[in-house]
Structure 1
Amino acid sequence: MVDLYWNGTLWYYKDISDFSRTKAAIKQRMDSGVCDSAYLNENTFVIVEDSGAVRVYQAVEIDERYELQLLGYVCQHDDSILSVSAFSNQRNIVTGGMDCCLKMWDVEDLIATYSYSFAHLDIITGTDVKPMCSSVFVSVSLDSESLLWDIRRAKPASIFKKNDCPLTAVSWNTTLENIIAIGTAEGSIAIIDIRQTETPLCESNECDRGVHKLLFNPTPERKEQLACCFDNTSVKVLDTQKELMQIYENNSHHDFVRGLAWCKDDLYSCSWDANVLKHIVNEYIASQGR
């Protein structure tokens, strides 16, 4: 018999200059695969698993050693959770996944304050939250539609639909609160202004593989930079104010890239090859005279 779920491992680093396994402050085996994570504050974060579980951890230093304290655990999704996003109030998160359900949580009590069963007609592949807001978020799904949710309203608004093309990734610009990027299973990316959703601001086919993750640079001076990874080994950064012009690309990973993070204007990527790579994007751009 083969298990239904992969086992996972959680690696926690206090020094991001070296991601060698021996440099990890904490290594913890998990009962199932870790699908996504989001920080609430400097030492507290949420992970979601392919078992449908949500866990909240806090890293604490005890006798010069770091430990992970489990602050909360709940399993209310009926299938794998593929996405988690944290609101800026550091108290609420939204999750979505293979059960086609969206849930908004109060992480202090780990209570699902809002639950939208069959929010989409197919698997929910991504979520993100409106910056500096605690009530509005966006979701994308394999049903080819992106929905804008406001917990103060009875129904969501459809902001993007690409017929017969599953949607696989979404990112909300943290500086420009009306701008959202959406990725598809065909490798295209669209930039949407939620104030006028009839036609994307721009749209471009960036890869012959599906888009897996999109992430805007949170630095206000670099707000136009959109990092993306696909179902391959490449990491790209696009300029959303120049018709999605490619300004950076790296293919150093040896397996599919699954995660992206910006930190102090540098981009980090992680892959199934078990490596975390640092991309000094803006130094590269400067060297190219852009």
Structure 2
Amino acid sequence: MENWNIPNINGDTFRNMLFSDRSSVVNKNLQFLLIYDEHNALLGGTNMNDLYWTGTIWHYNDISDFTRNKAAITQQMNNGICDAVYLGHNKFVVVEDSGAVQITEIVQLTNEQSEFQFLERACQHDDSILTVSGFSNKRNIVTGGMDCCLKVWDIEDLVATYSYNFAHTDIITSTDVKPMCSSEFISTSLDGIFKRHDCHLLAVTWNTVSDHLIAVGAADGSIALIDVRQTENPLYESVEFNRGIHKLLFNPNPERKEQLACCSDDTFVKVFDTYREMLPIFENNSHSDFVQGLAWYKDDLFSCSWDGSVIKHVVCSSDNNSS
């Protein structure tokens, strides 16, 4: 009976533990994948199976193999990481669940060795940042997250030059910028703006060629194609998944601008033809956990998942699929 009164010493141990004393977790839940070119790619993950949610960033100079031991640089972060965006082939921005924005540069030490150099860090959000997008001028980014606030940042000084505190009334889930523009962007939130009925919006992407066309994903598994010049009625809307949409991404190839890659809170990766009423042209169910990241490179689609794997998908053109 007396032992029941002993304080939980494990709690004190964890509270007083330094970051350097924590054991590293190799198998992270992968959150995002970015491919700048065939020699520059970033993979980000957050350990969600431990008392401390810490992140890891991997840089690859060869996109043919995304296994962890093939990474050119591996860097553990003090906080969980949610999203990232490239500023150039050797510079990128990572956003954290701590509400911080981190600018990092890849520095080449020798022909075979490189490292991350952390340039600037700022924390002006009041809660976790869930999404970041970069404008074409490579100087400004937009962030949004759980504090329901959108911020536009000047990367040169790493200050939030604009804050939209009342743009949404609930958690901001996704952002994307207008192609070849330094001032316009789109955002989605759990407040459900753009929908004709109440439904949480989880993902948005802007077509890189048809700059009036966006795709919006919702918690009911539906995807809506919307003309930003008249947002009252979607051009097309249909339920494509059994679970909420997590990420949408148009193919940046002008010759395949109609291809829309999608993943939900599930193991499926799908590609649709948006010019043919969301005709399915590709589907893969190889992942064993939720797919979180999508990245196009040339005509191939890459996906990463909480299962720790990265898979390359060969997507044929819509004409080849219909023949």
TM-score, normalised with respect to structure 2: 0.82
Counterparts of 1:56 and 1:260, CA distance in 2: 22
Query: 2:274 matched to 1:240?
Result: yes
Shift of 1:287: 6.1
Runs of 4+ residues over 6 Å off in structure 1 = none
Structure 1 residue aligned with 2:93, among 11, 36, 46? 46
In the alignment, does 2:160 pair up with 1:112?
Answer: yes
Residue 280 (str. 1) matches residue 323 (str. 2): no
Q: How many angstroms apart in 2 are the aligned matches of 1:4 and 1:273?
A: 19
Aligned residue pairs total: 275
- Give the RMSD, CA atoms, in angstroms: 1.5
Cα deviation per residue 1:193-240 (whole Å; 9 max; x = unaligned)?
Answer: 011222111111001100000000001001000000000011000110
Q: Structure 1 residue aligned with 2:57, among 4, 7, 10?
A: 10
The equivalences for 1:73-88 within 5 A come to 73-88=121-136
Q: Take 2:121 and 2:314, find their aligned partners in 1: how far apart are those partners? A: 36
2:74 equivalent in structure 1: 27
* Runs of at least 5 residues in structure 2 that lack an aligned partner in the other structure: 1-10, 15-49
1:185 aligns with 2:219: yes
Tell which structure's C-alpha radius of gyration is larger: 2
Identity over the aligned pairs, expressed in percent?
Answer: 65
> Which residue, out of 104, 108, 112, partners 1:61?
108
Q: Which has the higher contact order (CA 8 A, sep 6+)?
A: 2
Report the Cα offset of residue 119 of structure 1: 2.2
- Note the C-alpha offset of 1:286: 6.8
Say which of 73, 90, 94 aligns to 2:138: 90
Q: 1:209 aligns with which of 239, 243, 246?
A: 243
2:100 maps to amino acid: A
The one-letter code of the counterpart of 2:148 is C
Q: Which amino acid aligns with 2:254?
A: P
Q: Which runs of 5+ in 1 are unaligned?
A: 146-159
Partner SS, residue 191 of structure 1 = strand
Secondary structure at 1:40 match in 2: strand
Q: Is the 8 A contact 1:99 1:118 kept in 2?
A: no
Cα distance in 2 between the residues matched to 1:198 and 1:111: 34
Aligned partner of residue 69 in structure 2, secondary structure: helix
**Structure 1 SS opposite 2:187:** strand
- One-letter amino acid of the structure 1 residue matched with residue 316 of structure 2: N
Deviations 1:5-30 (A, max 9, x none): 61111111010000111110001101
Q: TM-score, normalised by structure 1?
A: 0.91
Report the counterpart of residue 182 of structure 2 in structure 1: 134
Q: Deviations over 1:96-125 (max 9, x none)?
A: 000000000011110101011132110000
| Aligned amino acid, residue 270 of structure 2 | K
The structure 2 residue matched to 1:258, chosen from 277, 281, 292, is: 292
8 A contact 2:281–2:321 mirrored in 1: no
Q: Any conservation in 1 of the 2:81–2:94 contact (CA below 8 Å)?
A: yes
Contact 1:181-1:191 at 8 Å conserved across structures: yes
